[in-house]
Each structure stands twice: as structure tokens, then as C-alpha cells.
Structure 1
Amino acid sequence: MTTSSVSAFVQQLSAVSSVPGCNNFFDNNDPANAQRRSNLGIYLQDMMNRAPKVLLLGEAPGFRGMRITGVPFTNRTMFERAANRFGLFGAGKGYALPAEAWAVAAEPTATVMWEVLAELEFLPLLWSACPWHTHVPGQPLSNRTPTGAEARLGTPFWVSLMELFSIETVVAVGNVAHRSLLRNGLDAPKVRHPAHGGRSGFKRGLEELFVTGAVPSPPGR
């Protein structure tokens, strides 16, 4: 994956129009979205250098997480603190937050996700089946499970990432992602989503995939 391919991917993502109940926080209609596009580009470039072969595909961004930062499964506090266990995010990495971030509480699911990945010493590429913020129409500070149609619109983007990163294994994180993969002929394994008390199930699911060989074990395990 080259710099130009990262830029092309982000541009393609930004070209999708927002509609009531489904906000594309990368589009060109909000100046703050330029910062989110930049953050996503930094993340993808950094991951390109790490060459992950596993993609964890979540459901959709939350209004306190990727909707604010532009990066899958992150929240504003990750950009404020030191870099995490993998050397991602944190001060000095080039990420910046739009002004609106300071009024929004941090998404707890992102914290749980990265805690578990650090414990497992496992660094996959992260993305969502529907990469836009789905919410109750008229209530932008809410989260809504994406419809099948919304997930289908997101399919070309995770397919592109699989190709750009030469992904060998995809793991669905939750039901929306699993259905999206099945619709496209991928009988991928599924693990519990870490949200809403799902931490232990999420971790246990990944550990089981390592044991069975469905997902390559991280080095040192």
C-alpha cells in the first residue's frame, strides 16, 4: 500500500454523501472533517509499515469514537496520552482533534479494544462494515445499528483494504460485520463485540482463534 493508494482510499470514502441518519464524517461539507481525513491517512500509513495480515471488521463508528477521531476504534483520550503499547496514536504521532472533540466523552469501547489487543500482543488492521456514523435521524449524538443496505454501501471499502494490505484473514467483530462478510462469500470467524460488557468474550474469542489456527498467533505466544 503506497501513499497515493492511502490518499485515494480516503478520497473515495469522503465522496460518499451523508443522508439523514447516516453521517459521513469524512465528507467535504464540514471543515472539521479534514482533520479526520488526515488522522485516518496517518493511521493507514502507519499500519502499512507494520504489514498486518489480519483484519478485524467491526460494525459502525460510534459518536464518541471514530465519529470524532476519524480512526477506527479510537477515542479522543488516545490522542491526548502517550502512544499506546504498539506505538500508535499519542503525542508526536501527527494526530490532531477537531475542536468539537473536547465536548464529547471518550468512547469506552475503544479503550477496551486496545487493552485486549495489548494483552494479546496482537495488532490487526481495524475497520467497520459500515464506516459511517449511523444514528437515530435528528439525534446525531446517538448510535444506531446499521441496516443491511448501509452495510452493503460500506462493502467496497473493506474489500479495498483487504486488497491494499494483502489481508489473509478477516475476523468479524459482532453480527453486522459477520452478515456483511457472509453476504460477500466470506465464511469468516466471528468474535463477541467488546462493547456492553463484551470484553472477556471478545478476548476469549480471539484466544480461541489463535489456538485453532484460524488466526495466526502473535509472535511470542
Structure 2
Amino acid sequence: MALDALLGELSNATIGATFNQFRDAGPDDLPDAPAIRRANLRQYLDERSAADIVAVGEAAGYQGMRWSGIAFTSEYDLLGWGDPYRRSSRRPRPWKEPSGTIVHGVLGELDAERRVILWNTVPTHPSMPGQPLSNRRPTRSEIAAGSVFAQGLMDIMRPRLLVGVGRIAAETLGSRSVYVRHPAQSGATAFRLGMRALLQTASG
């Protein structure tokens, strides 16, 4: 499957009760927010066409991918990257995601931003009912539906190293992936150590 086809299918996908930020908009979104997020993701992937590592997390979060369109990435990160990346929210201050700050900190430290593609098992946003600015664990059916897109990305990129960030991602990807602890919920230090070790080994 070509990248355009994969992203087109993702933009039209309904994954359980999750919010598809590439198709839908809420009251805090700019009018063209879904198109902004689609463009952000495409730019991000184009810049990493030679990446040999894919790191897959759990699901889009309300402070990060929900607004940026890119896994483990917030509007705050986009401002640091500059044009053509754009914010999609009406919020006066950009959204900032703690996990994303940790992830990009490690990638920047090792000059690996363009070597690694960040993705999520569920690339859309699961939230608590009636609480759009929240996160919840994706259901089994959402994981199954979302993982189709992760597999599609693998088929296109054929990475040398596949990293499962957190248990959900690692269990979904199976034995072909290497597990690293998710940086959330006191996992920051373990994530940094694990990801540094993997990236340094992959560079050897």
C-alpha cells in the first residue's frame, strides 16, 4: 500500500469510539483543523522517508497527537520545528505533552529525529465518555482496528528496528518488536535508558 492510500484510509477510518482527528473537529479546533493535522503528518513522514526505526506507542493523547496529528508530539513541539507545521487548536497557549517532551528529548540528544518514525497502535484519540480532554485505555477492538494502520506503515517503511513503547504496543507488535517502557506514569527514566541503548546499538 502506498503512503497516500494509507493516510487516505486513516483519514476516513472509524476506530471504535475514538475521535479521528484527521477527519473530525471539535469546538476547540480551528475550522481547517483536520486538514492541518493531515498535512502535519504527511510532512513528518516525508521528512523521514529514509528512517530505519519505527517506535510505536499506545494511542493518540489529548495533549499531543489529538492536535498535532503526530504521535508523541504536541503543538509546542511543532512550534519548535517551524514552518510548514501548524497548530490546529484555538487555544491561546499551545498544547504540551509530557511524554512527547521526553521522547523528543531523547531523539534530539542522539540526533535521531529523522531516523525514527513515531506512530501509535491506535492512531486516533480514545477519551472518557463526555470528557474529550481526557485519555483512556483503548479497547481490544480499537487496538485491532488501529493496528491495521501500524502494519500498513511497516509494510511501506520496512524498518530495521521496530520498538514497542509500552505493553500494549509491544504485545500488539509481538516478537518482531523490542519493548521499551512507556514514558508516562513514572516511566520516564526507564524509557530514556531503554531508548538510548536501542538507538546507540542501532547506530553501531
RMSD value, Cα: 2.2
Partners in 2 of 1:41 and 1:105 — Cα distance? 20
Asked if the contact 2:15/2:145 (under 8 Å) is kept, the reply is no
Secondary structure at 1:67 match in 2: helix
Q: Give the aligned partner of residue 13 of structure 2.
A: 16
Deviations 1:152-195 (A, max 9, x none): 1012211111111121221100011012112xxx3422011112
Match for 1:112 among 81, 94, 102? 102
Q: CA deviation at 1:77?
A: 1.2
Partners in 1 of 2:182 and 2:89 — Cα distance? 29
Secondary structure at 2:122 match in 1: coil
Secondary structure at 2:59 match in 1: coil
Where does the alignment leave 5 or more consecutive residues of structure 2 unmatched? 27-31
Q: Give the aligned partner of residue 57 of structure 1.
A: 56
- The residue type equivalent to 1:23 in the other structure is F
1:210-221 pair list within 5 angstroms = 216-217=202-203
Between Structure 1 and Structure 2, how many residues are aligned? 197
State the percentage of identical aligned residues. Answer: 34
Q: CA deviation at 1:78?
A: 1.5
- The residue type equivalent to 1:198 in the other structure is G
**Taking structure 2 as the reference length, what is the TM-score of the superposition?**
0.87
Secondary structure at 2:48 match in 1: helix
Secondary structure at 1:59 match in 2: strand
Where does the alignment leave 5 or more consecutive residues of structure 1 unmatched? 82-89
Asked if the contact 1:112/1:199 (under 8 Å) is kept, the reply is yes
Deviations 1:35-87 (A, max 9, x none): 11111111111111xx1111111011110101011111111111223xxxxxx
Q: Give the aligned partner of residue 21 of structure 2.
A: 25
Asked if the contact 2:58/2:120 (under 8 Å) is kept, the reply is yes
Partners in 2 of 1:104 and 1:142 — Cα distance? 17
Secondary structure at 1:128 match in 2: strand
Match for 1:140 among 110, 125, 132? 132
